[in-house]
């Protein structure tokens, strides 16, 4: 149903909030445009078709990028030295070149003149083929949806994560048959801290399953089979975050994932990834997602697990506005912005449900065209399964009443253990009951109502915080613990050694092509 304004928000104040978010984000965007990272350069090689790993399990993209870095550096990009060496050495493919480079048998250089032009043409041709695969996968998604059916929102989003991809698949298919529209495969604990993407199908993850290209392909094929069986397209999501964000985004495009967790600050705050590395990597990853037609999910819900959900409500709105700015700047369309928020207010707080309605409706009206992702209670799931089931029902009700687009299924045993299949079945039954019994229950407020005044208060606090961030700088604000009460200085965290300032003459065929696509779509 069309979203209508119910909170009587001041349009001038909403415009001011977006203008401030753009001012706060612009310096970080300039940083991303003048730097690259080791993972971005590896993503170029992946897009050009290089995959596989050596006997120790280290991907060939890592070995080749490291050989270039050690020889001529990565400040000019990986493409020119690699495709120059490919042509000079007469290697049949990138895999052979990577094997020889890892053995120390290749000398790299920065070509110029006719040799430089030949290297550019070769790199552009190879990367272009990878983008063609991504384009075909996007078209394949559209064909699958046309051949089956696109479920009506809110899409019911359910998590699967056994650690074993071959156990995940039947669980995901069972969940889809019970009504799930989106299957999220949680990554193995700590994968975001690995500076390489594991290869192959994996069976030994920890509290999740490794994100690998083969795992993506296996789950995508299984859900396609189930989509045809049900006559309803089932979406697949994973995580493009951490030290390999650009590479995982590329693999997601190549294997037709539909959504990716891709937040501008989550990895900084909750995984201690260096802030500069994260912002540079997220811009590239979002350009890939834009081209692939992938919906991103942002992680503002996590702030409310470490900060108070009432006191920190405005920080969620600020982060959403920043995520919107960074996403649109990278070429994503509004329909791809799965901005996140959560039902995390302590149920013992008076008027807790009214406060939740105020926050959820505020986000809905601030981003009317975005497919918002609403997260269930986790912080206050105490192990009382009856209380938890009731709290999840209130969450589902708030989601339907405020027109949320993606509803993550809450589990009553969330605070006890990894939920069983039976727990998921009961959770989906909860969603179905609320949808069928009260799914058309809308909202109507008088101007002086509590919900309206609370929404206006949160928006005002968000505008005030954005003004402060513009004055002190976003990186400093993150360092001060503004988001999630966790301090992450710009010169700390993992991955800073993989940040490279671009030299004059830096060239990246993937960025060049992705930016050209974004400009064409913007003009269209």
State the DSSP string of 422-455: HHHHHHHHHHHHHHHHHTT------TT-HHHHHH
The residue annotated as part of the active site, out of 224, 301, 392, 423, is 301
State the DSSP string of 25-66: HHHHHHHHHTEEEHHHHHHHHHHTT---B-TTS-BHHHHHHH
Phi, psi of 198 (to 5 degrees): -60, 155
Query: Can you give the length of the chain in residues?
Result: 524
Burial (CB count <10 Å: 0-12, 13-18, 19+), residue 75:
middle
Nearest C-alpha neighbor of 370 from the set 404, 403, 335: 335
| List of residues 6+ apart from 422 with CB closer than 8 A | none
DSSP state of 330: T
- Give the rounded distance of the alpha carbon of 213 from its chain centre: 16
| 3: its two tokens | 């979203």
The residue annotated as part of the active site, out of 266, 303, 325, 389, is 266
Catalytic status, residue 303: no
Q: Which residues make beta-bridge pairs with 273?
A: 494
- What is the distance between the alpha carbons of residues 261 and 160, in angstroms, rounded to a whole number? 15
Catalytic status, residue 266: yes
Residue where the block lists tokens 């409706």:
361
- What is the distance between the alpha carbons of residues 392 and 404, in angstroms, rounded to a whole number? 15
Nearest C-alpha neighbor of 189 from the set 208, 212, 161, 167: 208
Burial (CB count <10 Å: 0-12, 13-18, 19+), residue 444:
exposed
CB under 8 A, 24+ apart: contacts of 421-425: 421/171, 421/174, 424/158, 424/175, 424/178, 425/178
The residue annotated as part of the active site, out of 281, 373, 389, 392, is 373
Q: How many CA atoms lie within 13 A of 50 on its CB side?
A: 35
What region, left, alpha or beta, does residue 495 occupy, with left being phi > 0 and alpha being psi -120 to 50 degrees? Answer: left
Parallel, antiparallel or unpaired: strands 235-239 and 182-185: parallel
- What is the distance between the alpha carbons of residues 503 and 514, in angstroms, rounded to a whole number? 20
- What is the distance between the alpha carbons of residues 297 and 248, in angstroms, rounded to a whole number? 15
- What is the distance between the alpha carbons of residues 94 and 49, in angstroms, rounded to a whole number? 8
The H or E element spanning position 322 is helix 313-329
Measure CA of the first residue to CA of the last residue in the chain; give whole Å: 27
Look at the alpha carbons of 272, 274, 276, 281 in this order and tell me if their dihedral is positive or negative.
Answer: negative
Query: Do residues 475 and 277 touch, judged by C-beta distance below 8 A?
Result: no
Catalytic status, residue 373: yes
Question: Looking at the annotation, which residues are catalytic?
Answer: 266, 301, 373
């Amino acid at each position: 149903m069309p979203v209508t304004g119910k909170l009587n928000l001041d349009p001038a104040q909403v415009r001011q909030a977006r203008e401030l978010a753009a001012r706060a984000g612009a310096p970080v965007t300039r940083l991303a445009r003048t730097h690259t990272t080791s993972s971005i350069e590896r993503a170029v090689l992946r897009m050009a078709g290089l995959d596989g790993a050596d006997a120790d399990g280290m991907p060939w993209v890592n070995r080749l990028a490291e050989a270039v870095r050690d020889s001529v550096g990565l400040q000019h990009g990986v493409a020119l030295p690699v495709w120059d060496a490919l042509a000079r050495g007469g290697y049949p493919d990138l895999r052979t070149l990577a094997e020889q480079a890892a053995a120390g048998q290749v000398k790299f250089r920065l070509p110029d003149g006719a040799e430089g032009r030949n290297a550019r043409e070769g790199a552009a041709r190879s990367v272009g083929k990878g983008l063609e695969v991504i384009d075909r996968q996007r078209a394949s998604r559209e064909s699958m949806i046309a051949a089956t059916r696109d479920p009506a929102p809110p899409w019911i989003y359910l998590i699967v994560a056994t650690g074993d991809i071959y156990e995940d698949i039947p669980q995901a298919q069972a969940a889809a048959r019970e009504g799930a529209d989106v299957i999220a495969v949680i990554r193995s604990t700590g994968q975001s801290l690995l500076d390489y993407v594991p290869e192959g199908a994996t069976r030994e993850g920890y509290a999740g399953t490794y994100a690998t290209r083969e795992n993506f392909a296996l789950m995508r094929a299984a859900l396609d089979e189930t989509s045809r069986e049900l006559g309803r397209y089932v979406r697949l999501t994973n995580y493009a975050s951490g030290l390999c964000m650009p590479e995982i985004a590329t693999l997601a495009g190549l294997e037709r994932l539909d959504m990716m967790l891709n937040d501008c600050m989550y990895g900084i705050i909750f995984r201690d990834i260096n802030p500069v590395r994260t912002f540079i990597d997220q811009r590239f990853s979002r350009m890939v997602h834009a081209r692939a037609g992938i919906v991103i999910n942002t992680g503002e819900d996590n702030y409310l697990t470490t900060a108070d959900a009432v006191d920190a409500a405005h920080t969620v709105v600020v982060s959403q506005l920043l995520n919107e700015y960074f996403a649109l700047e990278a070429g994503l369309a509004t329909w791809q912005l799965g901005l996140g928020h959560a039902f995390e207010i302590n149920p013992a707080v008076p008027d807790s449900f009214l406060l939740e309605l105020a926050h959820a409706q505020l986000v809905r009206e601030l981003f009317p065209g975005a497919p918002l992702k609403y997260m269930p209670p986790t912080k206050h799931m105490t192990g009382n399964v009856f209380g938890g089931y009731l709290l999840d029902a209130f969450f589902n009700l708030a989601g339907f009443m405020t027109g949320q687009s993606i509803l993550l299924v809450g589990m009553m045993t969330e605070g006890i253990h990894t939920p069983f299949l039976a727990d998921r079945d009961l959770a989906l039954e909860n969603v179905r009951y609320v949808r069928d019994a009260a799914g058309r229950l809308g909202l109507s407020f008088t101007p002086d109502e509590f919900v309206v005044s609370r929404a206006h208060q949160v928006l005002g606090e968000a505008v005030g915080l954005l003004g402060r961030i513009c004055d002190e700088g976003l990186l400093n604000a993150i360092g001060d613990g503004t988001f999630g009460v966790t301090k992450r200085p710009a010169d700390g965290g993992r991955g800073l050694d993989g940040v490279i300032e671009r030299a004059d003459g830096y060239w990246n065929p993937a960025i060049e092509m992705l930016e050209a696509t974004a400009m064409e779509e913007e003009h269209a």
